[in-house]
Amino acid sequence: MAKKAESNIVQTAMSTGMHNTLVAAVKAAGLVDTLSSPGPFTVFAPTDAAFAKLPAGTVETLVKPENKGTLTTILTYHAVPGKVTAGDLVKLINANGGKATITTVQGGTLTAMLEGGNVVITDAKGGKTTVVKADVMTSNGVVHVTDGVFLPA
């Protein structure tokens, strides 16, 4: 039997050492309590390197108090209600002719496909992001680590 994860999504992100930007953004957006609640949630978690790929100054601008609404929109676009494992995603992709549409907490959609054995997510602006580490189980859901930041429409 698999060991039950004891850390929630936020605690897990804080412990990785590669999600410092995400954690700072979650704090700035006031989403710590939400992502620490029972959920369950599925979070696609961009690494610090993923945030670093955004144009210079983007993160610094987003975490300013006056941009909290925009930041919240972007972050909730990385969360999906319920616990969706990589296996669930692959089944959904295969059941839908190679492409699955996922509705996020923000209300927008993401498109998941398989490319070279990896789950690749396309955001509303056409940006492609690869899941680089799947199924990081938490007490209130699952985290999939990504190499890019999703941008909603």
Residue 2 falls within a domain, yes or no? no
Please report, for the domain that includes residue 141, its CATH number.
Answer: 2.30.180.10
Residues in contact with 142: Cβ distance below 8 Å, sequence separation at least 6, in sequence order: 40, 42, 43, 83, 84, 85, 135, 136
Residue 109 falls within a domain, yes or no? yes
Residue 74 falls within a domain, yes or no? yes
Task: Give the model's pLDDT for residue 3.
Answer: 56
Q: Both tokens of residue 57? A: 């100054």
| Number of separate domains in the chain | 1
Q: Tell me the per-residue pLDDT of 69-118, one tens digit each, with 9 for 90 and over.
A: 999 999 999 999 999 999 999 999 999 999 999 999 999 999 999 999 99
Residue 70 falls within a domain, yes or no? yes
**Residue 99 DSSP class:** -
Q: What is the mean pLDDT of residues 4-33?
A: 94
Order of strands, sheet of 141-146, starting from the edge strand that comes earlier in the sequence? 79-81, 41-46, 141-146, 128-138, 118-122, 109-115, 100-103
For 132, the domain range is: 9-146
Residue 69 falls within a domain, yes or no? yes
Residue 90 falls within a domain, yes or no? yes
Residue 4 falls within a domain, yes or no? no
Residue 152 falls within a domain, yes or no? no
